[in-house]
A = this chain, B = another copy of it.
Amino acid sequence: MDRFHAVYEIDVPVSDAEARVDALLLEQSVELPRAALFPHPVVDEVLPTVVSVEALDEARVRAELAFPVAATGLEPTRLMTLLFGNASLQPDVALVDVELPNDLLVALGGPRCGVEGWRDALGARGRPLTCTALKPLGLGAGEIAELAEALALAGIDVIKDDHGIGDPPFCPFDERVAACQRAVERATERTGRRSIYAPCVSGAPATLRRQVDVALAEGVGALLMSPLTTGVGAFHEIARADPPLPVLAHPEWAGAARVAPEALLGRLFRAFGADAVIYPHHGGRFAYSRETCAALAERLRAPLGPTLPAVPTPAGGMRLERVPELIEFYGEDVMLLIGGSLQVPPGRVGPRARAFVEAVAGAANGGASSETGR
């Protein structure tokens, strides 16, 4: 059987590492003690194998395990279970990396649109893309649509719902999506420049399906989803459905402590079909380091077998003033997401959004490097 690889860091004295790694591989597969196993051709095959165990220091090891692809059923939920299902309940172990072989990448499918798909849809070349969010929660559908129109008139590329909006009584999904899509279309007619509105679709499967159908009927150009609350299976199903529509993945509930963002957001979200992955850039309201952000961008964009690249979408408290630095860091294949900073002070969102668009155009023309992590 083909195998995928997972790398864990475990708090364990090196002298006990072998037994701890054996317990981990049993936990993440057969869930039986070694003493309960008997020779069996398939059980022997589904057991993860130990690729390497390396001491990081006296009390911590890095272990790489190889799992059989067949046990995943070629779909995201079982893959998540095998990678970290029960281990997530053991505080001494963290999932730090994931490598998927080509046959699994092909089966999962990855992004349908990827970097070039966004650029084609937007007619945007040779510069980073811009993105912002419709806020605050509490605005009515009409107010949100007004904001969307102002942002589209200012030239923002992707205007997304807030990930927490859902379908509340004060801003019903159907009314909001229709109003925002019309607002963005009106702006495009006036400016001749395409903006995409990306509504947030969420909820239980029946609700989610209905919301996607409404969004498609309204003609939206992209969708926003949160794989970890809506379910990675539902995310994957929508991302792979026809017609191919770019999908932004939101990182909520991704944790900060025990699953490496490079693995979860960088590798898995891309393999599951995200065309853009939102994550907190360092120096904002969250704790990701500069190195993590560089590694994440690399994971999302680097060649990966049959899988299209996804657009890194750094966010999380980015300010307008940081645009040149962000472009210097990420190069042009990036979507810069600035939310709140465009709305301070209130009532100035049009000019602030225009300044964002111009800062991106200016910095890109200034010949920013396309390398990350410098």
Residues of A within 8 A of B (CB): 23, 27-33, 35-38, 40, 42-47, 70-73, 75-78, 80-82, 84-86, 88-92, 133, 135-140, 162-164, 166-170, 202-209, 226, 229-234, 236-237, 251-258, 280, 285-288, 316, 339-341, 343-347
A-B contact pairs, 17 of them (CB 8 A): A32-B339, A42-B170, A46-B138, A71-B164, A73-B168, A76-B204, A77-B166, A77-B226, A78-B164, A78-B203, A86-B252, A88-B254, A88-B255, A91-B257, A205-B233, A230-B231, A255-B258
Query: How many Å lie between the Cα of A31 and that of B337 in the bound state?
Result: 13
Q: Which residue of B lies closest to A171 (CB)?
A: B42
Residues of B within 8 A of A287 (CB): 89-92
- A80's contact among B162, B229, B257, by CB below 8 Å, is which? B229
A84 close to B43 (CB less than 8 A):
no
Query: How many Å lie between the Cα of A251 and that of B86 in the bound state?
Result: 8
Residues of B within 8 A of A45 (CB): 138
If A203-B73, A204-B77, A233-B204 touch, whether A31 touches B162 (CB-CB below 8 Å) is yes
Residues of B within 8 A of A346 (CB): 36-38
Question: Given A77-B166, A202-B233, A229-B231, 8 more contacts at CB 8 Å?
Answer: A32-B135, A73-B167, A80-B253, A89-B316, A204-B231, A204-B236, A207-B233, A229-B232
A208 close to B207 (CB less than 8 A):
no
The residue among A32, A226, A286, A341 with the most chain B CB atoms within 10 A of its own CB is A32
Copies of this polypeptide in the complex? 2
Q: Which residue of B lies closest to A32 (CB)?
A: B340
Query: How many Å lie between the Cα of A86 and that of B70 in the bound state?
Result: 34
Residues of B within 8 A of A76 (CB): 204
Query: How many Å lie between the Cα of A140 and that of B286 in the bound state?
Result: 46
B29 close to A137 (CB less than 8 A):
yes
Residues of B within 8 A of A23 (CB): 285
Report A105 CB to chain B, min CB distance, Å: 17
Report A242 CB to chain B, min CB distance, Å: 14
- A140's contact among B42, B72, B232, by CB below 8 Å, is which? B42
A30 close to B81 (CB less than 8 A):
no
Query: How many Å lie between the Cα of A80 and that of B120 in the bound state?
Result: 35
Report A80 CB to chain B, min CB distance, Å: 5
Q: Which residue of B lies closest to A205 (CB)?
A: B205
Query: How many Å lie between the Cα of A323 and that of B84 in the bound state?
Result: 29
- A136's contact among B30, B72, B133, by CB below 8 Å, is which? B30
Report A301 CB to chain B, min CB distance, Å: 21
A136 close to B78 (CB less than 8 A):
no
